[in-house]
Structure 1
Amino acid sequence: MDSLLLQWVCLVFIVTSALCGVFAWPNDLPGSWELLVADAGIASMHTAVTHHNTVVLLDRANIGPSHIILPRGHCRFDGHDAVLKQDCYSHSVVLDLQTNRIRPLMILTDTWCSSGQFLPDGTLLSTGGDMDGFKKIRMFKPCKADGFCDWDELKDVELAEGRWYATNQILPDGSVIIVGGRATNTIEYFPPRKGAVFLPFLADVEDKQMDNLYPYVHLLPSGHIFIFANDRAVLYDHDIDKIVRDFPPLPGGPRNYPSAGSSVMLALQGDYSMAVIVVCGGAQFGAFLQKSTDAPAHGSCGRIVATEPHPVWQMEDMPFGRIMGDMVMLPTGEVLIINGAQAGSQGFEMATNPCLHPVLYRPDQPVGLRFMTLNPGIVPRLYHSTANLLPDGRVLLAGSNPHYFYRFKAKFPTELRIEAFSPEYLSADRANLRPEIHGIPETIRYGEVFEVSVSVPLPVVGIVEVNFGSAPFATHSFSQGQRLVKLAVTSAVPNGNLYKIGCTAPPNGMVAPPGYYMAFAVNQGVPSIARWVQVVD
């Protein structure tokens, strides 16, 4: 077949597949893509999955007209808005995962580059933003897909300091620590405790690029907080508000906004005494200040056992240099690295060469064998894009607006499509391994012993895992509050057509803060559809 004919055949394949809503390149790489929503109305900058199997999407409130209008009589009035003084367009929506239908929500203040976290009762907390949202606190109490829940902006309480580009993390007692922000080198708590507390570490690591923004914050099973900013990290004791440990610098330069790496804490398991942090990707130092859109991103990853007495960073390289990649903890304990670009930095129109290939990080493999390149997509997901694990094991991809306002005629246009990526564990040849949960308690207390009933098409071989995955707040290449906890389980025991698995709940809120989790049964690397479980004290 000559090259021109081959190109034509490939083009027909790509266009036909895209129109049908499911896309796969003509190769043997794992994973598949699906178009869920052709026009979500907004480009999601912040995305979170609720325990009612809906997804909350948020954009800036001063973006100008979106593609979705608020219900009649619901308008926002802001004399300082540069585009619309009377704004009757929605800048937040909720997606029903069962029907893929979109419902507009009303947000009153600007959530641009805000932070968020789910509270123990499943309420989504949104904090800070820009302009009139700088010190605002908002709540979204989710409801069933046919309900009419909406945002509630608190009037009697606000942040002690304005926070733009901050990070939230739920704590063992169910409160939330809010870390940093642009020109805000402090922490504070919700519910409010004592106002803002100065954190000199954030000031020390700030450079001209502001690479201490959206710090990577992880709650360790010790109860201390791991805070990473620029190229350094500290251990923070939130009970006494003091830094109790410094970690060695991570080689390779800054990783936080606008250098745009990403980070996860690997699955907690065993006796839960060990916590491993991984930080991957980033821009070349100076790319943001020099507005160098073609400066190649680097692909180095650092991995550190944060609970060791004398930890060091173990370095390795991804198959691609990547900025603005999202790291998503899968139910299996593997990590999906998706979205982003191979050149430039974070910021409006600052990145080029989209990185369309997802990568699977397999933490149990030796260095050199941990990364697997997956089937590429066709939609560039650059600045202001998100990735979230769904209860059925797919990963939701939303957003990408590398422009100050919505622009649909550009090299990288504002993106309103929502997609789902299915990892290889959802492929047809593994369907006979996929378990189904038939029975699990809706509420589980710390340390409680309980049973999970599952069915599997083929007889069970080996251990069926039961793993709890949180629902994080994804924004700017970091998922705030993301964690996966592997429970202690007994061997699956046949019980008629089902198997019974004995499980022990997480021991305390340091391992699994109170709240709603997706409970997955995992059989030979294939997860079930999750059941939502509330972990309580």
Structure 2
Amino acid sequence: MRHHYCLLFIGFGLSSLAQAQGNNPLTGNVLVRNAYQNNSLLAETSIELQPGFSVDAPGFSAAIGRPYAQGGQWRGVYNWPIVGIHTHVLPSGKVLTWQGHNDNSHGHTGVYDWDPATNALNLLQTVHDNIFCSGHTLLPDGRLFVAGGHDRYYESVTPQPNPPDPDNPFNVTYIGGLKLTYTYDYSRPVATAWQQQTDMKRNRWYPTTTVLGNGSVLSVSGETEPIIVMNAQDQNRYRPELWQNGGWSWLMNADRERRLPLYPMMFLAPDGRVFNAGPNKLTGYIDVVNGGTWTDGPEHQLGAAVPPVGDANRYFHGAHHEGTAVMYEPGKILVIGGSGAGGVTNTVERINLNDATPQFQYDASMAYPRAHVNSTVLPDGSVLVTGGIPNGDKRDIDAILPAEMWTPPASGSGPGSWTTLNPMGEPRLYHSTAVLLPDGRVLSAGGGHGGGYTDHPTAEVFSPPYLFKGPRPEISYAPATTSYGQPFAFNSPTPGQIDAVTWIRLSSVTHSFNMNQRFLRLPITARTGTSVTVTAPASPNDCPPGHYMVFALRNGVPSEARIVSISNNPCAASISLTTSISQYSCGATATADVSGSNLGGSYRWYLNGVHQPAFDGQPSAVAQLTNCASQAAFAVEVIPACGGAPLTASQTVSAGPFGQGGTLCACE
């Protein structure tokens, strides 16, 4: 019986090696590598080798991997013009990605989109700010929400901030963040897709953003400006803030001295609070409804029992820094790998926030210690772990190339199990990303561009084992929208063969943490000869409003996804535009004012059909009328506070002619 095996060769002499083994070329097998060397894989080749084959020679390492149905298959490596540090899956199914700049000399960011169907990567637009190391998530209406970024290095901060500068090895001395907030609307023309929103209250570099059950966004952590951190009397230096109705507000009840790590692992919990799952040892809940009140949570099992100097509460330090975390079921979280005082770990901890007294417990450990690692929840409920390094040496040669997959326990409780999968083609270390695609594959990109790591401006795609285990079911139609707790049906040519339906929020990931992904199972309630009916999640705390991939499964094999958005019944939003004129000797000022209900703050103004960015974000606009231009046609567009289609209103005003003493004023 022949098997398709995954193999790794590095060096020269592929054909002679195959001949030496007495094997003829066959189609369907891919050469992959056991361990990374500084030279590149020469080519993908078709050969057949016998089980047990291995070879080691200087600059050369090869062995038979697992059959694709057990170990999955990597494809690529594709050359990109950037390191994919920030990567997002949009409701269109395309992937948005950018790198940004790790220095003081750039104030712009080139943003690209990648099409999984064609493998085409295109430069979309340049954002005129450095959104490197920003926080991001997807809003209920599908817009990508981006907060903060990189302002500059402060190379002489005196005295040192109190408490001391966060122990981030990638800082020169201190890095200042940006206040800026942007949205990217995939449905708009490229030229107008990026819109600047209201600034945050505080500069933030490495913040985490989390969408809440009502569609608002929590922003926590992130380095700001040294002058703020050095001022122990500043009441807001570590305070979180909330974005809602188009603006930011402080959470005034939050403990101003609760200093979280950079890019903390934050999850919306089933009770509506937001849970800080790490990487700090002492976790906690922030209650946004009550103004940001913090409640201490349980401690991680891993980590020193004695608090480090300067962090008596262990709000900042822990043993899972540079690790990853994922919510694999509502309220159930894995914290995976990372590093601390004890070095890089393969340890995994889990917690169930639905328990009466949630506590972290050790789960099964990975085969490899990993820092700078990514976790991706898959359509069958398993969790894929990719990339990472087992030490702090930053060398590509030490990179962990084999992926691993965690399978949850069949009983729903207790530890899961790990399976080692086939190795990727290039190291994916610091600044690498991984996202689930609507076709069920996983994009892995980036690595490097800072921190002393080698740049990898490349990407590759992983097909998990489930794509080699038989024919895929199909969803031929699904509705574009649904509401909480409501049934909805999708069409399929084989509805009787579908035994499970899963629901996965689109990805938005950077620095080993996906700020947007969630996983739920949808109960099947009815079938016909052409359709399957399921029930949408009932709670926005389990399922924040927004866009999700719906997968139909048959014996663990997923369909390609359909993307469906979920929200409460659209709110009753209304808009109207009123105008007024203030006349002077040779002209007049015309003013247009917006009023209405349930309006957000994303006003977009037009005058005589031309966009007027100077008035965007404001509820009013003005125009000057003269004898040369005596008419002004105002128009405004705004997205309702609860999402949905934009609302528009327009009014045309005119005045004149203008003159003095019976003489018309000159045209100006």
Structure 2 length-normalised TM = 0.65
Map of 1:528 onto structure 2: 559
Give the letter for the 1:94 counterpart.
D
2:111 aligned residue (74, 92, 99): 92
1:195 aligned residue (229, 249, 261): 249
Give the letter for the 2:337 counterpart.
G
Residues 352 and 399 of structure 1: is their aligned pair in 2 closer, same or farther, counting only changes over 3 Å? Answer: same
1:321 aligned residue (349, 353, 369): 369
Corresponding position: 1:50 with 2:90 = yes
Provide the secondary structure at the position in 1 that maps to 2:470: helix
Give the letter for the 1:178 counterpart.
S
Map of 1:455 onto structure 2: 493
1:9 offset after TM fit, Å?
4.6
Give the letter for the 1:358 counterpart.
A
Map of 2:547 onto structure 1: 516
Corresponding position: 1:148 with 2:198 = no
What does residue range 458-477 of structure 1 map to in structure 2 within 5 Å?
460=497, 464-477=499-512
Residues 5 and 375 of structure 1: is their aligned pair in 2 closer, same or farther, counting only changes over 3 Å? Answer: closer
Which region of structure 1 is more displaced relative to structure 2, 368-377 or 333-342?
Answer: 368-377
1:415 offset after TM fit, Å?
1.0
1:200 offset after TM fit, Å?
6.0
Which of 1 and 2 has higher RCO (CA within 8 Å, sep 6+)? Answer: 1
Provide the secondary structure at the position in 1 that maps to 2:140: coil
Give the letter for the 1:382 counterpart.
L
Does the 8 A contact of 2:502 with 2:520 survive in 1? yes
Distance in 1 of aligned mates of 2:302 and 2:12: 39
Does the 8 A contact of 1:173 with 1:514 survive in 2? yes
Map of 1:227 onto structure 2: 276
Residues 284 and 22 of structure 1: is their aligned pair in 2 closer, same or farther, counting only changes over 3 Å? Answer: farther
Residues 175 and 256 of structure 1: is their aligned pair in 2 closer, same or farther, counting only changes over 3 Å? Answer: farther
CA distances 1:480-519 after superposition (whole Å, capped 9, x unpaired):
02101211213655x1xx4x32211111322211111111
Provide the secondary structure at the position in 2 that maps to 1:57: strand
Map of 1:249 onto structure 2: 299
Distance in 1 of aligned mates of 2:10 and 2:486: 63
Give the letter for the 1:196 counterpart.
W
Provide the secondary structure at the position in 2 that maps to 1:312: coil
Map of 1:490 onto structure 2: 525
Map of 1:19 onto structure 2: 43
Distance in 2 of aligned mates of 1:325 and 1:487: 29
What does residue range 166-181 of structure 1 map to in structure 2 within 5 Å?
166-181=207-222
What does residue range 249-288 of structure 1 map to in structure 2 within 5 Å?
249-253=299-303, 259-268=321-330, 275-285=331-341
1:108 aligned residue (128, 133, 137): 128
Q: Which runs of 5+ in 1 are unaligned?
A: 64-80, 207-211, 269-274, 287-295, 406-411
Provide the secondary structure at the position in 1 that maps to 2:384: strand
What does residue range 315-464 of structure 1 map to in structure 2 within 5 Å?
315-316=362-363, 317-344=365-392, 349=394, 353-365=398-410, 370-403=417-450, 413-427=454-468, 430-432=469-471, 434-456=472-494, 460=497, 464=499
1:521 offset after TM fit, Å?
0.7
Give the structure with higher Rg (CA): 2
Give the letter for the 1:142 counterpart.
Y
Does the 8 A contact of 2:433 with 2:445 survive in 1? yes
What is the percent sequence identity of the aligned residues? 29
Distance in 2 of aligned mates of 1:99 and 1:22: 24
Provide the secondary structure at the position in 2 that maps to 1:344: coil
Provide the secondary structure at the position in 1 that maps to 2:402: coil
CA distances 1:186-223 after superposition (whole Å, capped 9, x unpaired):
211223666223676684465xxxxx111111112222
Residues 163 and 526 of structure 1: is their aligned pair in 2 closer, same or farther, counting only changes over 3 Å? Answer: same
Does the 8 A contact of 2:74 with 2:425 survive in 1? no
1:5 offset after TM fit, Å?
13
1:442 offset after TM fit, Å?
1.3
Residues 256 and 61 of structure 1: is their aligned pair in 2 closer, same or farther, counting only changes over 3 Å? Answer: farther
Distance in 2 of aligned mates of 1:332 and 1:356: 23
Between Structure 1 and Structure 2, how many residues are aligned? 470
Provide the secondary structure at the position in 2 that maps to 1:426: helix
Distance in 1 of aligned mates of 2:10 and 2:419: 31
Map of 2:179 onto structure 1: 135
Does the 8 A contact of 2:489 with 2:533 survive in 1? yes
Does the 8 A contact of 1:472 with 1:479 survive in 2? yes
Which region of structure 1 is more displaced relative to structure 2, 124-133 or 373-382?
Answer: 124-133
Distance in 1 of aligned mates of 2:32 and 2:221: 44
Give the letter for the 1:93 counterpart.
Y
1:360 offset after TM fit, Å?
0.5
Distance in 2 of aligned mates of 1:330 and 1:18: 31
Does the 8 A contact of 1:444 with 1:535 survive in 2? yes
Residues 404 and 370 of structure 1: is their aligned pair in 2 closer, same or farther, counting only changes over 3 Å? Answer: closer
Map of 2:162 onto structure 1: none
1:108 offset after TM fit, Å?
1.1
Map of 1:39 onto structure 2: 79
1:377 offset after TM fit, Å?
1.1
Which region of structure 1 is more displaced relative to structure 2, 308-317 or 39-48?
Answer: 308-317
Residues 315 and 14 of structure 1: is their aligned pair in 2 closer, same or farther, counting only changes over 3 Å? Answer: closer
Does the 8 A contact of 2:505 with 2:547 survive in 1? yes
Give the letter for the 1:376 counterpart.
P
Which region of structure 1 is more displaced relative to structure 2, 518-527 or 308-317?
Answer: 308-317
Provide the secondary structure at the position in 2 that maps to 1:186: coil
Does the 8 A contact of 2:209 with 2:218 survive in 1? yes
Does the 8 A contact of 1:255 with 1:283 survive in 2? no
Does the 8 A contact of 2:198 with 2:248 survive in 1? no
1:297 offset after TM fit, Å?
1.2
Provide the secondary structure at the position in 2 that maps to 1:99: coil
Residues 114 and 351 of structure 1: is their aligned pair in 2 closer, same or farther, counting only changes over 3 Å? Answer: farther
Does the 8 A contact of 2:11 with 2:41 survive in 1? no
Residues 256 and 419 of structure 1: is their aligned pair in 2 closer, same or farther, counting only changes over 3 Å? Answer: farther
Distance in 1 of aligned mates of 2:324 and 2:239: 22
Does the 8 A contact of 1:342 with 1:352 survive in 2? no
Does the 8 A contact of 2:76 with 2:425 survive in 1? no
Does the 8 A contact of 2:213 with 2:541 survive in 1? yes
1:299 offset after TM fit, Å?
0.8
Corresponding position: 1:298 with 2:336 = no
Does the 8 A contact of 2:286 with 2:293 survive in 1? yes
1:319 offset after TM fit, Å?
1.2
CA distances 1:28-66 after superposition (whole Å, capped 9, x unpaired):
251100116x32211011100111121110212456xxx
Provide the secondary structure at the position in 2 that maps to 1:397: strand
Q: Which runs of 5+ in 2 are unaligned?
A: 1-8, 19-30, 34-39, 48-61, 153-176, 225-236, 304-315, 569-668
1:454 offset after TM fit, Å?
1.9
Distance in 1 of aligned mates of 2:407 and 2:118: 33
Does the 8 A contact of 1:61 with 1:108 survive in 2? no
Does the 8 A contact of 2:187 with 2:193 survive in 1? no
Give the letter for the 2:480 counterpart.
E
Does the 8 A contact of 2:526 with 2:534 survive in 1? no
Distance in 1 of aligned mates of 2:186 and 2:218: 22
Give the letter for the 2:243 counterpart.
F
1:137 offset after TM fit, Å?
0.7
Give the letter for the 1:260 counterpart.
E
